[in-house]
Structure 1
């Protein structure tokens, strides 16, 4: 297993890598496989053109099988957070399930993680063994996901008299959202708005609201449910940016937003997407890195080109590659710079 910095790639970055480039990338980063990436690849099947179908299979094959264990679904974590469960947000992957074990011979503890339904789906895509139910679900999922109506969101905001100030500069989007969610006078309205937006059932809404009522004099919304607050804040930044024309009103915005829900569970976030380039630098922790897919691909291509030039078996670079040491070919390497900053004591904090 690779113990490099934990990274998340969105589809725009992932599909930009060749298979060789992606496998090289996996030598130096531990990719947090998010459910949304697999579902985006899966949704390409719903277009039914052979080109898109073949593209989905090609993308799935880059993982070389079923892929890494997946992060727990954001909605599961959001609900847990609202019910008072502590969701650790320090750059580590939160697996959806696992069986703890204790190796008595080595006196070490670990977690056995079996293949998840998402991993099984990825493997079926890669091997072109999808069922008719898979294909129908792909079609339904894509239609439902792209049917997110921004006007409905504006209507719900107006019903609760929640006003979104216009940022003077792009850098003000997140500070404005934080200020809105920190206003004690409207905290209740924001909580109820988001419980509605995330389509929670009435019994669940009631349970969460009762918990908030019992603790509202002690906790701010950000402390009441820290991970849920991250999701609320991320959602609100997208709505503010869309309403005031900073980003286009595109149905795929809310697909892209899904990746940001997983931001607390990585050290490096990689994307070519305009929305991510705008908002992830504002929402990330200080010790996280945002890298464009173009820059990552450029660095990987340069290293691979240099590796291809190495012919001698005992060349210093050949030995480094053989020993799985990072090939320090260029002191300006983006990958090496990120790894050196991430793989230090205290990086997960």
Structure 2
């Protein structure tokens, strides 16, 4: 498994299906809700464009390129921020927050969690067949509405009440510094929270409880009290300040949707995008351990990998990617290998001296995973990081179910003879 990578729609659209296979294989993609919002927005395109394709055609094409081998759908930023404000810890160490984990307990008492196939993954499977459910369109509409319908005069007044003057900003670094300073200090907590409520469209019934909890903690700086909620506020403030300073165009209506990808930076190691706004604005928010990668550069590198692995004998390729393409090919100066060296240290040693598994060992692992996923939900435990919950470090085992096609584009993802060896085996993996 490679680096955890946040990506935007523009990147996936730029890839061929074969290139998307290698992105899925050599990264662990963070499929964030904004990607779904942007994808489903194409359904509103009722007439064919220059390409001759209508909105449904575009969505099917994107669905064909969407990661299936690895990666995970990320929880929506509003849900994460609200949980954070109510006392839930949100890890911001590059891991992807996932919803829907089902706690289980094996007969020998081992604790585990099973992530069944996500609703998002099922949706993309349907979209590949051209089946679009109205509820999915409604969810995307609601999410996009939250991002695009904002009372700008009210926001401007609240920003002014915080003493922020956009005219003082000459660069995006200046805008970032002002936003960071605000969430790290104790001044004007009510004005800060009022802005966060407005940006997140927080239902009024939550306001009193959130403010009461913060007041009990003596209005500790938001960056300390609720770090993820503070990050969301910082991104929003940065955007409004940069707009006011004419560092970002106010004429492009999609800019607020695009900037929202930055909400998900804490859950990635690499951010891949072909959007100029992202290239301009992501850098101040990236940690020293993170990278921004321009989409065209990674596309070229994935194309190179595709060509190199295409030289392998047919018999090797038919074994499936997991067998014959365990690591990227190239020199240490190639982009993909640089990213692997930086974010997955130790992979070269593991690749140089792999530990082979016998057929019997593989069979036992598959059986154990099958037993785990078939266990009933254990009502006596709750997974998570809240009070009394079972945290990830306390789990003995975890399984993520995926529906994986045997072949995608030119490549066998699973062994070509899988059905021959196991007549009843579906094209899925756990």
Instruction: Classify the TM-score, shorter chain.
Output: 0.7 to 0.9
Counterpart among 257, 260, 266 of residue 258 in structure 1: 260
Counterpart among 189, 211, 219 of residue 209 in structure 1: 211
Which position in structure 2 is the counterpart of 1:48? 46
Q: How far does residue 108 in structure 1 lie from its aligned partner after superposition? A: 7.1
Contact 1:166/1:240 (<8 A) preserved: no
Deviations 1:1-21 (A, max 9, x none): xx2211111111121111110
Counterpart among 307, 310, 314 of residue 308 in structure 1: 310
Which position in structure 1 is the counterpart of 2:425? none
Whole-angstrom CA distance in 1 between matches of 2:42 and 2:15? 18
Which position in structure 2 is the counterpart of 1:119? 121
Which position in structure 2 is the counterpart of 1:33? 31
Q: How does 1:1-349 map to 2 (within 5 A)?
A: 3-50=1-48, 51=53, 52-63=55-66, 68-101=71-104, 110-132=112-134, 134=136, 145-148=147-150, 150-158=152-160, 162-216=164-218, 219-249=220-250, 250-309=252-311, 322-344=323-345
- Structure 2: stretches of 5+ with no match in the other structure: 347-430
Task: Say which SS state the counterpart of residue 62 (structure 2) adopts.
Answer: helix
Contact 2:25/2:70 (<8 A) preserved: no
Task: Say which SS state the counterpart of residue 282 (structure 2) adopts.
Answer: helix
Whole-angstrom CA distance in 2 between matches of 1:211 and 1:130? 41
**1:165–1:211 Cα change, 3 Å:** farther
Q: How far does residue 344 in structure 1 lie from its aligned partner after superposition? A: 2.9
Q: How far does residue 321 in structure 1 lie from its aligned partner after superposition? A: 8.7
Contact 2:75/2:99 (<8 A) preserved: yes
Whole-angstrom CA distance in 1 between matches of 2:167 and 2:188? 15
Whole-angstrom CA distance in 2 between matches of 1:41 and 1:131? 14
Contact 2:28/2:70 (<8 A) preserved: no
**1:45–1:66 Cα change, 3 Å:** farther
Whole-angstrom CA distance in 2 between matches of 1:265 and 1:17? 23
Task: Say which SS state the counterpart of residue 32 (structure 1) adopts.
Answer: strand
**1:84–1:327 Cα change, 3 Å:** closer
Deviations 1:90-116 (A, max 9, x none): 0011111211345578x9764311233
Task: Say which SS state the counterpart of residue 99 (structure 1) adopts.
Answer: strand
The alignment covers a number of residue pairs equal to 339
Whole-angstrom CA distance in 2 between matches of 1:150 and 1:143? 14
Q: What TM-score comes out, normalization by structure 1 length?
A: 0.86
**1:268–1:108 Cα change, 3 Å:** farther
Task: Say which SS state the counterpart of residue 310 (structure 2) adopts.
Answer: helix
Q: How far does residue 54 in structure 1 lie from its aligned partner after superposition? A: 0.8
Contact 2:185/2:221 (<8 A) preserved: no
Contact 1:242/1:248 (<8 A) preserved: yes
Q: How far does residue 134 in structure 1 lie from its aligned partner after superposition? A: 4.8
Contact 2:146/2:201 (<8 A) preserved: no
Contact 2:24/2:69 (<8 A) preserved: no
**1:139–1:75 Cα change, 3 Å:** closer
**1:157–1:21 Cα change, 3 Å:** same
Task: Say which SS state the counterpart of residue 262 (structure 1) adopts.
Answer: helix
Contact 2:162/2:188 (<8 A) preserved: no
Contact 1:83/1:208 (<8 A) preserved: yes
Q: CA RMSD in A?
A: 3.1
Whole-angstrom CA distance in 1 between matches of 2:103 and 2:71? 18
Q: How far does residue 29 in structure 1 lie from its aligned partner after superposition? A: 0.5
Q: How far does residue 133 in structure 1 lie from its aligned partner after superposition? A: 5.3
Task: Say which SS state the counterpart of residue 15 (structure 1) adopts.
Answer: helix
Task: Say which SS state the counterpart of residue 155 (structure 2) adopts.
Answer: helix
Q: What TM-score comes out, normalization by structure 2 length?
A: 0.71
Contact 2:271/2:291 (<8 A) preserved: yes
Contact 1:69/1:115 (<8 A) preserved: no
Whole-angstrom CA distance in 1 between matches of 2:270 and 2:330? 22
